[in-house]
Amino acid sequence: MISKEEFSTLANNGLWKQNPGVVQLLGLCPLLAISNNVVNALSLGLATVFVMAASSLAVSGVRNFVPHEIRIPVFILIIAALVTIIDLALNAFAHPLYLVLGIFIPLITTNCIVLARADAYASKNHPLHSTLDGALMGIGLTLVLVILGGAREIAGQGTLLSGIDLALGPATKDWVITVLPDYKGFLLAILPPGAFIGLGLLIAGRNWIDQRAQRRAQQAARTAVAQPA
Amino acid sequence: MNPVLQNALRTSVILFLFTLIGTALLAYTYRHTHSIIEKSAQAEKLALINQVLPKQLYDNDLLGAWRALPADPLLGTRKASGMWLATRDGQPAGVVLEAVAPEGYSGDISLLIGIDANGTLTGVRVTQHRETPGLGDYIQLSKSPWVLQFDGKSYHPDQDSLWRVKKDGGEYDSRAGATITPRAIVKAVREALKYFQLHRETLLRPQESGQP
């Protein structure tokens, strides 16, 4: 079983310290393409969580049978086969869900964060830990995607959750929130450059928070030395 | 045996085994899913077709009545596209044409155009486009009802000038700042109607073989 400390290390790594979206900067291809609104961002994020947990479990399960020299082709093989199986199975047995996530799943195969976690973590750790690591990395990426998607959607069209009726059915059409009424729209935010600029701001913001925390810690250490209680 | 060779042999056997297992799993999944997937893909296609050609107009197996259409400048196609022939009580009731508006702002816009036997439009839908999101994408029914203004329209050569956007003196709406997209679609629909009038006999004739 997994201990509480191990879990919080994994969570801290996936969500903050090693966040795939703003620290490792892996998986940017789908991140930049899909983050033009919240619904798309969340859909891709959830699909990524799912695929990463499953691929980390599979890779970790066979880690003792894979010679070091051929680990990359074997991992790619596993991930590609797994994603294809998930894609086919969702399409056949969970069609409504497939209509929402379907176009995103093949995109995930090209996402290098999946292979990166397979090689860096799952190939060396217990299946349970690896699955959690995959899922938490996916959640970290989802958080970045949703924040970026929300910011771009507000800046670009002045709404939130537009297109939710395409994901959850026509009944949810009035869930769409108009944040800025009579907004004329800001095209740059929706087009690809908006994704780069938005991601840049997010990375800067995260670094700023980290550095401020570091400075505070140093200051606290210094005062503690200067005035021994 | 030479240890290097032995190691190489061992690695390749392992890689081969993984490939074998992967292929077997994929083949197994495909076998058990492809008929279900095929069915839902057909249902989706039919649902889309029914948006441009109302169900009550025909009673044949529409998906089975598909045939290829050679590329034609009036359809905007550079390679073969297709059409579905709808019949009711054995009489031709209309067609659904796959056409392309080649003059979109960002390249081709794929269209599905339903025309009844008299040459009246029963519906137009955009099936694929790369127009600017938030600006030119109001041609999608999910974003705005713009595309519905074609319903019930038909083409007469002496009213050619009506087949333009209002800005150019015609009768079709467009939005300020995004006229290239609707202009392209209005033109493509007009050309497709011309195509229908030109080839009406051939298009409405039921064909045994799949050859146009």
pLDDT tens for residues B103-151? 999 889 999 999 999 999 999 999 888 888 778 888 988 788 999 999 9
Residue (of A122, A69, A52, A84) closest to B23 by Cα position: A84
Q: Which chain B positions have a beta carbon within 8 Å of A78's beta carbon?
A: 18, 22
DSSP conformation letters of B26-65: HHHHHHHHHHHHHHHHHHHHHHHHHHHS-GGG--S-GGGG
In this complex, do B14 and A67 lie within 8 Å of one another by their Cβ atoms? yes
Averaged pLDDT, A102-116: 76
Which residue type is seen at B108? D
Tens of pLDDT, residue by residue over B36-65, are: 988 888 888 888 888 999 988 898 888 888
Q: What's the pLDDT score for residue B27?
A: 94
What is the distance between the alpha carbons of residues A50 and A90, in angstroms, rounded to a whole number? 12
DSSP A166-187: HHH-GGGGGG-EESSTT----H
Please determine, for residue A169, whether its predicted confidence score (pLDDT) is greater than 80. no
In eight-state DSSP terms, residue B210 is S
Chain A touched by B47 (CB under 8 Å): no
Average pLDDT along chain B: 89
CA distance A8 to chain B (A): 34
Per-residue pLDDT at B192: 95
* pLDDT at site A228: 60
Stated as kind and residue range, the H or E segment containing B111 is strand B109-116
Mean pLDDT on A136-165: 85
- Report the distance separating Cα B173 and Cα B176, nearest Å: 10
Q: Is B119 helix (H, G, I), strand (E, B) or coil?
A: coil
pLDDT at B91 over 60: yes
* pLDDT attached to residue B146: 93
pLDDT (0 to 100) of residue B211: 45
Would you kindly state where each structural domain of chain B is located, as residue ranges?
Answer: 1-52, 54-204
Q: How confident is the model at residue A185 (pLDDT cuts 50, 70, 90)?
A: confident
Which of A171-203 are b and which e, b meaning 16 or more Cβ less than 10 Å from the residue's Cβ? eeeeeeeeeeeeeebbbebbbeebbeebbeebb
Q: Is B71 on the interface with A (CB under 8 A)?
A: no
Q: Which residue has the higher pLDDT, A72 or A104?
A: A72
pLDDT of residue B210: 46
What's the DSSP call for residue B140? S
Tell me the chain A residues in contact with residue B18 when contact means C-beta distances shorter than 8 Å. Answer: 62, 66, 74, 77-78
Kindly indicate the confidence band of residue A227, based on its pLDDT and cuts at 50, 70 and 90. Answer: low
The pLDDT assigned to B212 comes to 45
Interface confidence (ipTM) of the complex? 0.71
**B29 → closest Cβ in A74, A85, A185:** A85
pTM > 0.80: yes or no: no
Q: How far apart are the first and last CA of chain A?
A: 42
Burial of A96 (0-12, 13-18, 19+ CB in 10 A): exposed
What kind and span of H or E run contains B127? strand B121-128
- The whole-number pLDDT of residue B100 equals 94
Q: What does the pLDDT look like over B158-211, one tens digit per residue?
A: 888 889 999 888 889 998 888 899 999 999 999 999 999 999 988 998 875 444
Q: Which residues pair with B94 in a beta bridge?
A: B86, B116
Number of A:B CB contacts under 8 A?
61
Residue A32's pLDDT band (cuts 50, 70, 90): confident
Structure confidence at residue B20 (pLDDT): 95
| A117 or A161, greater pLDDT | A117
Selected residue of B4, B9, B10, B29 to mutate for chain A interface (largest A Cβ count, 10 A): B29
CA A80 to chain B, closest CA, distance in angstroms equals 9
- Helices marked H in chain A: 4-12, 28-34, 38-61, 71-93, 95-101, 105-109, 112-117, 127-157, 164-168, 187-190, 192-226
Q: Give the pLDDT confidence score for residue A229 in this predicted structure.
A: 52
Chain B residue numbers with beta carbons less than 8 Å from the beta carbon of A185 are 134-135
- Tell me if A64 sits within 8 A of A92, measured CB to CB: no
Q: Is B85 helix (H, G, I), strand (E, B) or coil?
A: strand
Residue A27, CB-side half-sphere exposure with 13 Å CA sphere = 32
| Residue A36 pLDDT exceeds 60 | yes
Mean pLDDT (whole number) for B11-27:
93
